[in-house]
Structure 1
Amino acid sequence: MSERETQWRRWRSVADLYHACFTGLILTLVSRRGTADAAEFVFRVFRRQQQQRFVAGLDKLGLRHLPPAVAAAQYHYLSNWIGGVHVEYIYENDRKAWIRYPPPRWIWRGTAICGVPGEVSRAMLRGWHANNGVALGRLGLGFVCTKQSVDGQDGLEGYYHEADHPLDPDQRLVFARHLEAPVFDPAKAPALPVESWPRPRLEKAYRNYAMEYVRTAAPVAVQLFGPIDAAYLLHLTGKLIGMQYYDELAPGLGETGRDVAGFARLLQALLTAQDDSAELCDTGDGFEVRQGRWTLMDGVDDAHPACLRVLEGLVDGLAAGCGRRIHVGLSSAAGAPPLVWSVR
C-alpha cells in the first residue's frame, strides 16, 4: 500500500469514528434526555450547518446558476455523495426536483436506526431542508417529504418545489406520504468535475464530512443543555463509541498493539489523522502525547471548554477498548490546546 493510500485509509477510519460519535450522541440524548430534547438538538445542529454551509456550498459545487429547486436538490445529492452517503437525485422540472436517501441510511448506521424516533428525523428536515428557500431569498421554495426510513418506509425521500407565492414557515416542510419518487437514473445525475475534485480532495472531504457533524454538535449541546450537562453527555457518548470502535479503528490507523506503548502510538496516529500536531514522548514510567492544536474546534466562535469532553471521552473509550489496565490522563489550560495526554 502506498503512503498516500495509507493516509486515505487513516482518514476513512477517522471518518467512521466521528460518524459513529455523532449518531451516538443523538441516541444518548434520546435515551437520557428524551425525544423532545433530542429533536431540538438535531434541529439546531442541522439549522446551524445549513446557515454555515448551504449558500457557500452552492458556489463551491458550481450550482448557483440553477433554478432554486434544482440547485437545492443537486446540492444535497453532490454534498452527501462526497461524504459517502447513499443518495439519489431525480429532476422533474425547473420547479420540482427530488432527492432520495435509500437504505441503508448513513446517519443511522446499522442498528442505530431502531432507536431514532420519527420526530428526531423530522427535526433534521426542519433544520435544513425547510430553510433552503429562506437562505436563497426565494420564499416560495419548500420541501415535501414523502417517506421517512425511521418510520419503516423504504428510505427518506421528498422533493423541492417552488410555489408561485411565498410560503408561511409551517408550509416550508410538509408531508405527502401518498406520493413516491420517480425511479433514479444514475446517467442523468449531476457529477463533480474531476479536474477540481481529484481523489485526494475527495478523500479528505470524506473525512471532514463526518467530523463536521461533531464540530457542530458539541457547541450546540453546550448552548442547549448548559456546560455541566453537555460535558457529561459528550464524554459519555465519546467513551461508549471509543470502546465500541477500537477494534475497527486500530487496524485502519496501523497501530494494533494492546499495551501502553501501542496505545500511545495509536493516540498519536489518531490525532495526526485529524490534522492535529502530536508529539510522542517516552517518560520512563509511561508516555506523553503532546497535542499542539485541536483542529476540530478551530474557528468555532462559541466553542466552550466543555466541548473538549467529547474528545476526552473518545480517548478514554479507545483506551478501555485497547486494554483495561491502560490509563489516560489529560492536562490543559482552560480546556484549550496545548493538550498533554499521559498514557500509563
Structure 2
Amino acid sequence: MTAGQDSAQAAQWQRWRSLAELYHACFTGLILTVVTRRGTAEAAEFVFRVFRRQQQERFLPGLEKLGLSKLPPAVAAAQYHYLSNWIGGVCVEYMYETDRKAWIRYPPPRWIWKGTAICGIPGEVSRAMLRGWHANNGVALGNPKLGFACTKQSVDGQDGLEGYYCEYDYALEVDQRLVFARHLEAPLFDPATAPALPVESWPRPRLEKAYRNYAMEYVRTAAPVMVQLFGPEDAGYLLHLTGKLIGMQYFDEVARGFGMARGTAKDFAVFLRALFGAQDDVADASESGVCEIRQQTWKLMADVGDYHPACAKVLEGLFEGLAAGCGRHIAVDMKPAAGGAPPFVWSIE
C-alpha cells in the first residue's frame, strides 16, 4: 500500500470513528429523551425492548463470529460481552472463575452513559438493560440453568457495572435469571488472561468498520422499537427532537473528524455528502438554485423487517441539527419516496 493509500485509509477510519460518536450520542440521547419526556417506567420498557431485540438478533450469530460457541455457557456469555464490547470501543473487563462462573465488568467511564448523561439515568433503566440482554442469554443458549448476578451498577453510585454469569444446578424461574448480589465484588482484571481476537480474521480494516457499526446498530434497533412502543406520531416526535438536539451539539466534533468546519449551505451540502459516504449510502447531488442531494439508500435500515416511515424522523432531525451547527439559517428539507422509504431527496438552502 502506498503512502497516499495509507493516508486515504486513515482518513476514512477517522470519518468512521466520528460517525460512530454521532450515533453513539444519538442512542444515549434517545434514552434520555424518553426519561425526560415519558418518565422512568416507559424509559425502562424502551431500554428493555431495545436490548432484548439486540440480544435476539446478535448474540448467537456473534458467538459464532467470535469463535466462542463451543465454550461452557457461562464462559461463552461473559467472553461474548467482553469481545463484542471491546470491538465497539467500550471499556470492559473479563474474569474467569470456573467453567460455570465468569465475570464481566464495565469500569468507569461508562460508554453508554457518556459524560454527564450518567446523571440522568435512573437505576431502573440500567436494570432494564440487564433484563433485556444478560438475563436472556441462558434462554438463547437453550440452557435454563444459566443466569446473571449483578453486583454493582454505576448509575447507583458504585464504581462500575459488574456481575457474573453462573450456571446453577437447577433450572431457573423467570425472576431468577437476573438477581442482585451487592455484597459481592468482582475479582481484579488481568489483561494477560483476557480473551483476544485472532488477528488473521480480524484485521485493522474489519475492526474499524465494526467499531463504526457497533454504535450505528443501536440506533437501527432503537428507532423501530420506539415506533412500536409509542406509536408513529409520538415516536416520530421523540426521534426528530433527539436527532436535532444531538446534531446541534455534535456538528463541530463530527466535522473535525471529516476535516471540515462551519460554513454556508453549500459547505453543509459537501459535509452531508461525505457523511453519506461514511455510512456506506449512495447519494447524488444536483444544484439549480437550491442544492439537492438524492440519498438513494439508507443502508442502516435496509433490512429492518418492521421499518416504519416514522423511523426516518431521527435522520431528518439529525440533519436539521447538524445544519444548525454548521451555520445559521441553513434550511434542510427531506422528501421521501412512496411509503416513506428511500430514495430521500434532501433540499439544502
Q: Classify the TM-score, shorter chain.
A: over 0.9
SS at match of 1:337: coil
Whether 1:188 aligns to 2:203 is no
Deviation sequence 1:33-76 (CA, Å, 0-9, x none): 00000000000000000001101100000001100000000000
Q: One-letter code of the match for 2:59?
A: F
Hey, what does 2:294 align to over in structure 1? 290
Deviation for aligned residue 1:282: 2.0
- CA distance in 1 between counterparts of 2:251 and 2:203 reads 30
Whether 1:219 aligns to 2:219 is no
Whether 1:13 aligns to 2:18 is yes
Whether 1:327 aligns to 2:331 is yes
| 1:154 alignment partner, one of 130, 155, 159 | 159
**Is the contact between residue 133 and residue 142 of structure 1 (CA under 8 Å) also seen in structure 2?**
yes
Q: One-letter code of the match for 2:276?
A: L
| 1:262 alignment partner, one of 246, 264, 267 | 267
**Is the contact between residue 262 and residue 325 of structure 2 (CA under 8 Å) also seen in structure 1?**
no
Deviation for aligned residue 1:254: 2.3
Q: One-letter code of the match for 2:167?
A: E
Deviation for aligned residue 1:77: 0.1
**Is the contact between residue 255 and residue 265 of structure 1 (CA under 8 Å) also seen in structure 2?**
no
Deviation for aligned residue 1:286: 2.7
Identity percentage over the alignment? 75
Hey, what does 2:207 align to over in structure 1? 202
- CA distance in 1 between counterparts of 2:306 and 2:28 reads 22
**Is the contact between residue 283 and residue 294 of structure 2 (CA under 8 Å) also seen in structure 1?**
yes
**Is the contact between residue 146 and residue 158 of structure 1 (CA under 8 Å) also seen in structure 2?**
yes
- CA distance in 2 between counterparts of 1:142 and 1:64 reads 17
Q: One-letter code of the match for 1:287?
A: C
Deviation for aligned residue 1:85: 0.2
Hey, what does 2:346 align to over in structure 1? 341
Whether 1:40 aligns to 2:45 is yes
Deviation sequence 1:258-309 (CA, Å, 0-9, x none): 10110000111111111101112222x2311110000110110000000000
Deviation sequence 1:90-130 (CA, Å, 0-9, x none): 00000000000000000000000000000000000000000
| Pairing 1:1-344 to 2, within 5 Å after superposition | 2-283=7-288, 285-333=289-337, 334-344=339-349
**Is the contact between residue 242 and residue 313 of structure 1 (CA under 8 Å) also seen in structure 2?**
yes
- CA distance in 1 between counterparts of 2:321 and 2:118 reads 23
- CA distance in 2 between counterparts of 1:266 and 1:255 reads 7
Q: TM-score scaled by structure 1? A: 0.99
Which deviates more from structure 2 when the two are superposed, residues 328-337 or residues 54-63? 328-337
- CA distance in 2 between counterparts of 1:319 and 1:286 reads 15
Over aligned residue pairs, what C-alpha RMSD do you find?
A: 0.7
Aligned residues: 343
Deviation for aligned residue 1:237: 0.2
Which deviates more from structure 2 when the two are superposed, residues 155-164 or residues 320-329? 320-329
SS at match of 2:147: strand
Q: One-letter code of the match for 1:271?
A: F
Q: One-letter code of the match for 1:280?
A: A
- CA distance in 1 between counterparts of 2:60 and 2:343 reads 34
Hey, what does 2:3 align to over in structure 1? none
Q: One-letter code of the match for 1:329?
A: D
**Is the contact between residue 252 and residue 262 of structure 2 (CA under 8 Å) also seen in structure 1?**
no
Q: One-letter code of the match for 1:195?
A: E
Structure 1 stretches lacking a partner, 5+ long: none
SS at match of 2:158: coil
Q: One-letter code of the match for 1:77?
A: Y
Q: TM-score scaled by structure 2? A: 0.97
SS at match of 1:138: coil
- CA distance in 2 between counterparts of 1:119 and 1:32 reads 16
- CA distance in 2 between counterparts of 1:286 and 1:325 reads 14
Q: One-letter code of the match for 1:263?
A: F
Which deviates more from structure 2 when the two are superposed, residues 139-148 or residues 265-274? 265-274
- CA distance in 1 between counterparts of 2:43 and 2:182 reads 24
Deviation for aligned residue 1:255: 2.6
Q: One-letter code of the match for 2:218?
A: Y
- CA distance in 2 between counterparts of 1:250 and 1:189 reads 36
Deviation for aligned residue 1:257: 4.4
SS at match of 1:2: helix
